Amino acid sequence: MIEIRNVSKTYYPEKSTPIPALKNVDLVLHNGEFVAIVGASGSGKSTLLNTLGGLDKPDSGEVYINETPMSTFDDDKYSDYRKDQVGFVFQHFHLMPHLTVLENVELALAMSSYEKNEAHQKCVQAIQKVGLEQAILQKAGELSGGQQQRVAIARALVKSPNIILADEPTGALDSHTSQEIIDLLKRISEQGHLVVVITHDESVAKQATRIVRVKDGEIIEDIQQSEGHSVQTTKTAEPPRKRSFQLKSAFRLSFHRIKEKRWRYFLVSIGISMGICGFFLAMAFGSGIDNYMQYSSDKVIDSKKLDFKKEQGYMDSSDYYQIKKNKHVKFVQPEFDISARIEIKPDIISFDVKPLHKEKNRNEYAAPNVIYGQLPKDGDHGIALSESTAQKLLKDGEKLEGLIGREITIKFLSMDEVTSYPSRWDTQTMKISAITEQSFIGKEYSYIPYDVHTDVVKRSRFIGKDSEITTNSYEVYVDDKSSIQWVVDQFKPSYTITTPENVLKELTQTFKNIQLAMTGVSILILLISSIMVGIILYISVLERRKEIGLFKAIGGRKREVRWIFFSEAILLGGMASINGIVLGVVMQIALNQALVSRIHFELLSINVFTMLISIGFGILINVLAGTIPANQAAKLNPIQLLKQE
């Protein structure tokens, strides 16, 4: 039962005089009645219907639902009331034309906790009641007006409400179809439902069990034409279902929306895809850096090597023996920087030279990867050229392996790091023994045997063959990587010690800066794209006004309306992110192939976690972009939304 006591409602349009819609209205309605509310346009009948349905709130007075005052309802309670007790039938149907008959009816149960099979069965039964079982899988937009109104009635009936509110249900139909709809509504009231119909058609009103006439916001006549059927109410009543919003409904609506406006969304998604591609590659680059650091630790940077430096003066024998007697130190030796160049007029090929470990230590400590040839043995006047240096020596049509065994003239220069004492270019003839893998980070080094390296330093610095080379630093090799910290802790009061970790940090800083720049540019692209997504979703709010109004009329709460737009943002972000990942994988393969040909290492490393993070980030950006449009949609007035333009 619905009871209205002394209800008044006035509208206050902008820049216009107030419009009184209801004036001190009193009305009592019972289950099983078929009530026709009759009146001219602007008489207040629609406001009265919206007040009965919980879409509008009175300024004064009270509406009681089964003796419960609606003034005690908050927004959620109003939504629950519309979800469980009220079914709306609109003059202009308000169906989703891109959904099937079944899917349109299923929307009414989107907020209720029905099992999938149970919900499907109820929807089929409701469709059968209105005689549309043959069109159950047909798109609503393909139906006639009468058929669409039947779908709207099935949607109102499927949740077994006590109250059916129909706003001009025959206004857009021919006389024959109108009568079929009225007969259907009469049968519904005979089953114990309260059916309230707004109409200005006297032939429709005469078929109601009760006529309520409204004029200028007041009830001027209330005529009981026949008895209702409230006796059957207890048989048809169904307890309210717990609210459980079915996200699939929101996603289904959004999917059809994106499909309908696919070119618009495609253009917007290009920016998102590009941003996610860059973000994905930046993450892959970061992961690849970590892998490359491990590779460099084994192949480029000796992971068991410490650089001991004396800040004041040269190292002497006491320093040597003090360091050497440590139980974790395997050997100590000075190593010197040598610059070199090969003069092939008019070109000069410059590079740096490092000493190779003595043969007895080469298997235990880092050594360059050999592509062609073999590393020179102790005492050999052979050189292992880096791949990049060797490439510069090639003649047209010549291959790298053809350089092995060739003799070349090299000039070496070794400056004293402490005194910068004058040095000379020492010219040596050496045989190319090996071509080593190119190192991508740090300097490119070529290698000569340790004893030859020492001899070159002496000759360049004018030091006698049997004299000791003065130096302020030693290279200290420990037995295991785990011993490094122990050795550092013991000697750091006396020396400045550079560990492999320090070297790696310095070498990777450039890569980290590149990664940061890639990430920054990608995020900037995504932010710009998110603004576009926000604009598109704002347009979507304007274009989906009827859909939002319908969703609220069937019981949708504000947060569930938000989910319609969040689901659109999630789908758009997800699809665009997947496209970005696909593009990123293609670019990753191409870039790695280019890098492998130069450094023999795939510097971009991808995994499932990287992909999921990138997709998640793309979705998050879109959801954040959709927050303002979603909140705006949730606040809209369903009465205004459902008005036919």
pLDDT 10s digits, 305-323: 899 998 887 888 899 999 9
Q: Does residue 279 contact residue 522 with C-beta atoms inside 8 Å?
A: yes
- Predicted pLDDT at 428: 92
Q: Cα(172)–Cα(408) distance, rounded to whole angstroms?
A: 97
- Is the per-residue pLDDT at 439 higher than 90? no
Q: What angle do CA 272, 276, 282 make, to 5 degrees?
A: 150
Asked whether the whole model's pTM tops 0.75, one would answer: no
- Collapse the DSSP code of 20 into the 3-class scheme (helix H, G, I; strand E, B; otherwise coil) and give the result: strand
- Predicted pLDDT at 645: 45
Residue (of 287, 284, 270, 286) closest to 584 by Cα position? 284
- Residues 6+ positions from 612 with CB-CB distance below 8 Å: none
Task: State the amino acid at position 170 in one-letter form.
Answer: T
Main-chain dihedrals φ then ψ at residue 181, nearest 5 degrees: -70, -40
- Residues 6+ positions from 329 with CB-CB distance below 8 Å: 323, 476, 477, 478, 479, 487
Residue (of 108, 516, 485) closest to 286 by Cα position? 516
- Predicted pLDDT at 1: 81
Strands (E), 80-229: 86-90, 163-167, 194-199, 210-215, 218-224
Using 50, 70 and 90 to split pLDDT, how confident is the model at 329? very high
Q: Does residue 592 contact residue 580 with C-beta atoms inside 8 Å?
A: no
- Is the per-residue pLDDT at 166 higher than 60? yes
End-to-end CA, the chain: 33
Task: State the amino acid at position 102 in one-letter form.
Answer: L
Q: Does residue 452 contact residue 381 with C-beta atoms inside 8 Å?
A: yes
Q: What is the pLDDT of residues 14-24, one digit of tens each?
A: 777 888 889 99
- Predicted pLDDT at 287: 77
Q: Does residue 406 contact residue 432 with C-beta atoms inside 8 Å?
A: yes
Written as six digits, the tokens of 212 are: 């309520």
Q: How many helices (H) and strands (E) does the chain have?
A: 20, 21
- Is the per-residue pLDDT at 644 higher than 60? no
- Predicted pLDDT at 443: 66
Q: Which of 148-152, 508-512, 530-534 has the largest mean confidence?
A: 148-152
- Predicted pLDDT at 497: 92
Strands (E), 70-173: 86-90, 163-167
- Predicted pLDDT at 455: 92
Mean pLDDT, residues 522-551: 84
Task: State the amino acid at position 587 in one-letter form.
Answer: M
Using 50, 70 and 90 to split pLDDT, how confident is the model at 456? very high
Q: Cα(66)–Cα(362) distance, rounded to whole angstroms?
A: 93
Task: State the amino acid at position 554 in one-letter form.
Answer: I
Q: Cα(289)–Cα(511) distance, rounded to whole angstroms?
A: 7
Computed over its alpha carbons, how large is the radius of gyration of the chain?
Answer: 42
Sheet of strand 210-215, all strands in order from the earlier edge strand to the far edge: 86-90, 163-167, 194-199, 34-38, 210-215, 218-224
Q: Cα(89)–Cα(189) distance, rounded to whole angstroms?
A: 14
| Mean pLDDT, the chain, whole residue set | 85
The single residue listed with the structure tokens 């976690």 is: 609
Q: What is the pLDDT of residues 256-288, one digit of tens each?
A: 888 888 888 888 888 888 888 888 888 888 777
β-pairing verdict for 445-448 and 347-355: parallel
- Predicted pLDDT at 234: 40
